[in-house]
Amino acid sequence: MAEEQATNIRTRPPIITIMGHIDHGKTSLLDYIRNSRVTSKEAGGITQHVGAYQVEANNQTLTFIDTPGHEAFRAIRTRGIKTSDILVIVIAADEGIKPQTEEALENAKATGLPIVITLTKIDKEETNVDKIKADLAERELTPEEWGGETVVTQVSSTTGEGIDTFLEMLTLVAEVNEITANYNPEYTDGFVLESFLDSKTGPLSDVIVQNGQLKTGDVILVGTQTYGKVRRMNDPHGNIVKEASPSDPVRILGLKEVTDAGEQFRVVKNEKEAQTVIEEHTKKPSNEPVMQFLMQQKKTELNLILKADSGGSLEAIEYALDQIIQDEIKINVLNKSIGQVTASDIQEAKAEEALILAFGVKENKKTKQMAEQQSVRIKYYRLIYELTDEIRDLLYKMQEPKIQRNDFGTLNILRVFKEDKKSIIIGGRVTEGKMKKGSLVEISNGEEIILRGNLAELQHNKEVANEVEQGRECGIRINTQFKNESPKDGYTLYSYEEVTQEL
């Protein structure tokens, strides 16, 4: 009976996000589906824009995130939360793959989520469907009809052509991928689509439930920043509802503050528990020193050994861990069993450099001493969300930082004035963008980078400057970091910065 209460995993409607290049038909596609498929049930005839809506297709419910490129989607990459189950990338049949399409394709592939390609505007006269399919194949997204695994559909948001097939393919993709949720109310969680301040009612938040059953009166904790009791819930039609199930979008009233889009929420026992979590988070980082050794090692896997008080708890933990996005670092469960941590568990953890997660079991002094002698880490938990929060945080910190290069401008070198081992002074004309003091620079001979350094000083008309715009001449002193030959007149200098992105 305890195991049945611990987990209640069943299929749920898929959550679908639509991405793609601007003006390629994302909004038109969503509008057509909503207008043709969603029955008008709005309270008082006024549509409540909840940021998402649901439609029925082939006797299955589909949940669409209603704002293309929604901020909440960033949570897939930044917080390791699965805010979507299927990613639809729209490509205008008359334009093909554009820069934003490229970005959407790369981001989508990185998540490991199912991808459906939808060619829009097929009612236009000038389309080149085969060329787009060939371009997709080059990007490792070979269409099914060409022998690949990528679903490619064609639609017109003007005539409605292909919409039924598009929705049918989404239901099939959802079926194949067996999208599930834990319906046990004890594990209720979800994510915030958007949050805003209403002048009459106070903070309102549009959320999507991912597990459990969200009910009026529940106390929810959003991230580690705010909390509140759910005083009212409205569905996308504006109707007041008392309960929301997995994949249901609702607007809730009751949070004490406006929160960030993409934040995850969970139901806690009471307001005191929520306050305690927030206070503890402000006092210390969630990643305790006992786990620092993992962060200091460059790994591609996080090895875990699971111990729990029941089979139901083990199943619930495994399910919760599976909901964490695993990109650069993969979770690898080496072993799982019921009962206290044993000597053999410690020996295996030592040999495999694994972390032992113990849920709902008592700590044993002898095994604790043995673990300390073997430098094995054991973490004890009473709440599943504490376990998953810590593992998600650990995965985040174990990843390599992402570096993005932002180019400022280019300069044509007109003269080299002075050069020594540590620096070089040159003059030139800015041909694109601008030169910016303090930026990183590279000098190219047309074939390779021959010098890299920091733009330490910048002058225009013999006066110190912070920036020099395109078309103007300037003098530059570079503190060199790397050089394999001396620059000459006519060489090109690139000014840029490197920005560490959120993981």
Q: Is 7 exposed, middle or buried (0-12, 13-18, 19+ CB in 10 A)?
A: buried
Residue of 38 and 141 predicted with greater confidence: 141
Same domain, 386 and 464: no
Same domain, 227 and 311: no
Residue in the structure block whose two tokens are 């993709």: 173
Closest CA to 170 of 287, 56, 285, 302: 56
Same domain, 114 and 249: no
Same domain, 104 and 158: yes
Mean pLDDT, the chain, rounded, equals 84
**What pTM was computed for the model?**
0.65
Same domain, 94 and 78: yes
pLDDT greater than 60 at residue 41: no
Closest CA to 195 of 146, 277, 254: 254
The pair of structure tokens assigned to 37 is 């498929």
Query: Taking the alpha carbons of 129, 131, 135, 140 in that order, is the dihedral positive or negative?
Result: positive
The pLDDT of residue 1 is 38
Closest CA to 386 of 349, 358, 362: 358
The pLDDT of residue 34 is 81
The pLDDT of residue 271 is 93
User: Domain boundary residue among 141, 159, 180?
Assistant: 180
Q: What CATH number does residue 431 fall under?
A: 2.40.30.10
Residue 4: pLDDT band with limits 50, 70, 90:
very low
Residues ≥6 apart with Cβ < 8 Å to 167: 33, 37, 55, 57, 58, 62
Q: What is the pLDDT of residues 338-358, one digit of tens each?
A: 999 998 899 899 888 899 999
Helix (H, G, I), strand (E, B) or coil at 48: coil
CA distances from 268 to 218, 220, 246 (A): 8, 6, 17
Q: Are 21 and 91 in contact (CB under 8 A)?
A: yes
pLDDT greater than 50 at residue 432: yes
Q: What CATH number does residue 34 fall under?
A: 3.40.50.300
Domain count of the chain? 4
The pLDDT of residue 68 is 46
Residues ≥6 apart with Cβ < 8 Å to 226: 255, 256, 257, 259, 278
- Beta strand segments in 361-401, E: 377-381
Q: Is 200 exposed, middle or buried (0-12, 13-18, 19+ CB in 10 A)?
A: exposed
Same domain, 367 and 417: no
> What helix, strand, coil percent values describe the chain, rounded to 5?
25, 40, 35
What's the mean pLDDT in 148-174?
Answer: 93
pLDDT greater than 70 at residue 409: yes
Same domain, 23 and 121: yes
Residue 3: pLDDT band with limits 50, 70, 90:
very low
The pLDDT of residue 80 is 54
Same domain, 190 and 171: no
User: Domain boundary residue among 141, 157, 180?
Assistant: 180
User: What is the distance, to the nearest Å, from the Cα of residue 67 to the centroid of all Cα atoms in its chain?
Assistant: 16
Residue of 7 and 133 predicted with greater confidence: 133
The pLDDT of residue 215 is 97
Lowest-confidence pick of 169-183, 274-288, 397-411: 274-288
Closest CA to 266 of 364, 191, 378: 191
Domain limits at 19?
Answer: 2-180
Same domain, 39 and 164: yes
Same domain, 371 and 245: no
Same domain, 174 and 195: no
The pair of structure tokens assigned to 44 is 């008082």
The pLDDT of residue 66 is 64
Same domain, 173 and 90: yes
The pair of structure tokens assigned to 100 is 């934003």
User: Domain boundary residue among 265, 283, 301?
Assistant: 283
